[in-house]
Amino acid sequence: MLRHSDIWRGIDRLAREHGLSASGLARRSGLDPTTFNKSKRVTREGKLRWPSTESVAKILQATGATLGEFASYVTDDEGGGVYRNIPLIGLAQAGSEGFFDDSGYPAGDRWDAIPFPDVGDTHAYALEVNGNSLVPVFRDGDILIVAPQANIRCGDRVVLRTRDGGVMVTSLRRRTARKLELQSLVHAREEHAVSTDDVEWMARIVWASQ
């Protein structure tokens, strides 16, 4: 059941996500600045006052949020369920110039975007698997969510880019100061090592749409 407090929590979260107070969100949306004040949420008689459909529509238009995104802010788990638009490209494009900066963060304006729950990394991005080279672990069309700032441990699945522009999806078996020992995702017994000097960046896969 949708509760009065849920809707108001969603409005407050939407405002915070855009660096605004409830009053600031109302003002940006062309509403009276006091529309979303806490004092307006209950009448003097103690009756619950709900925001109007029109006011919700206006704040979505002003912030560019979708109805689905707003619904995620309404969830009961404080701080959870928040969706963001994160950059998306095909895995085959990841080796091309201009998509990443030197730190392995998304760069340029050629990315698409998809909504995805916040993973706690402002540089997170999505890669769409192209073809069947990673079957049976990942299939054509699967989405991989990558968090460049996430800690990487042995056994984690990662995306790695070498200095010659090659990109691979693999598993980190062991890491030393001089080399990375990698485990193939497709062939269980296939292992190979890469010199750390040859690695441009490596980032952890934190979720996949398998």
Give me the domains of the chain, ranges plus CATH numbers: 4-73 (1.10.260.40), 87-208 (2.10.109.10)
- The pLDDT, as a whole number, for residue 101 is 94
Q: What is the pLDDT of residues 11-45, one digit of tens each?
A: 998 898 888 999 999 999 999 999 999 999 998 88
Give 167-170's long-range contacts (Cβ < 8 A, gap of 24+). 167/91, 167/94, 167/95, 169/91, 169/129, 169/134, 169/138, 169/144, 169/205
Give the up-direction half-sphere exposure of residue 72: CA atoms within 13 A in the CB hemisphere: 17
Element housing 182 (H / E): strand 179-183
**Distance set, CA 62 to CA 86, 96, 99, 189 (Å):** 20, 35, 29, 54
Q: Could you tell me the pTM of the whole model?
A: 0.64
1-5, 19-23, 74-78: which is most confident: 19-23
